[in-house]
Amino acid sequence: SPHQANGTSYAATLLTIVTLETFAGMCINAFIVSVICMAWIQKKTLNSSEKILLLLGCSRFGYLCIGWVYYLLSVILPNYLPIHPVLPLVESAHGFLNCSNFWVSTCLCVFYCIKIANFSNSFFIYLKVKIDTIVPWLLVGSLLFSLLVGILVYDVTDKAHSTNLNLTSQGIIWKSRIRIDEHFFTGFFIIGFVFATSFTAVTFSALLLLFSLWRHKRNMQTNSMKDLSMDAHIKAMKSILSFFVMYNIHLICFILTMVYALKGRKDVMFLISVFLYAFPGVHSLILVCTNPKLEKSMLSILSCVNCKVCMKQ
């Protein structure tokens, strides 16, 4: 029927857009991981920011892979997704990688704030001195917490399916009839807690760094001095504020997803997915542009590609 044809065309268009966004984001994050790994091989060590960026690139690459598989199954093979235990496993992996993505991004914002901002507070000075020692523990803690969230998501999804499953006559395929019940709200509560905690840390980091930048600029004008740390402040602010803005967009999309999931509006949720899948790639691209080493590597690659194209012409 015409209605089914329009629905199929709409789903195919959105799948194409999401696929392009996913593979673009995967390429950017694979670039970050490869550049840092090559530096790791050459130097035999990594500094704190490189450790965070390496883990962030890996988590976002995995998140985009799992997210794309989940989206593909929900659009192309909707009858295969409810087969037990495909959905709980995919949801669990997606929850783990999504949580690690946000927590490692938060660690990066906090690291930039502590490393670059200047305050005379004794606790802040202590953190600035110990930050390189603290970063590995922050990353391990982020992974452990994300793993806990992944386990909880699996448990919630599995229980939701176990409550609402019927065995077919063949005894093989499990068909799910998930209702909007307490399992749904438990899952959103877990994700909401991750969002709220991470959002608070990012907000405080942005405000502290912004205040430090304002005070630093005022001191420079008073002393008529030019300080190189101003450039570091500005680059860190670009990174944190870009994440802060996109984080807010992501939070709004999360709330809209919850609202329209309750209403059963899959068409609106697909549109929201377009924004959600753009986030990991866009923010990683901003991180590349604000990191001198990554920016230099990208420019050298682009110049090589440009030279080869010119030679072929």
pLDDT higher at 7 or 66 = 66
Burial of 55 (0-12, 13-18, 19+ CB in 10 A): buried
Q: What is the pLDDT of residue 52?
A: 92
End-to-end CA distance of the chain: 48
Structure tokens at 28: 């950017």
Using omega within 30 degrees of 0 as the cis cutoff, is the peptide bond preceding 292 cis? no
Q: What is the pLDDT of residue 53?
A: 92
pLDDT higher at 37 or 302 = 37
Fold for 2-292, please state it: Rhopdopsin 7-helix transmembrane proteins (1.20.1070)
Number of Cβ within a 10 Å radius of residue 122 = 8
Q: pLDDT tens digits, residue range 235-275?
A: 767 777 777 777 777 777 767 766 665 565 566 666 677 77
Locus of tokens 């199929």: 8
Q: pLDDT tens digits, residue range 164-199?
A: 544 333 333 333 444 444 555 666 676 677 777 887
Number of helical H runs and strand E runs in the chain: 8, 2
User: What's the predicted TM-score (pTM) here?
Assistant: 0.82
Judge whether 135 and 51 are in contact, CB under 8 Å: yes
Q: pLDDT tens digits, residue range 270-306?
A: 667 777 778 888 888 888 888 888 888 888 887 776 6
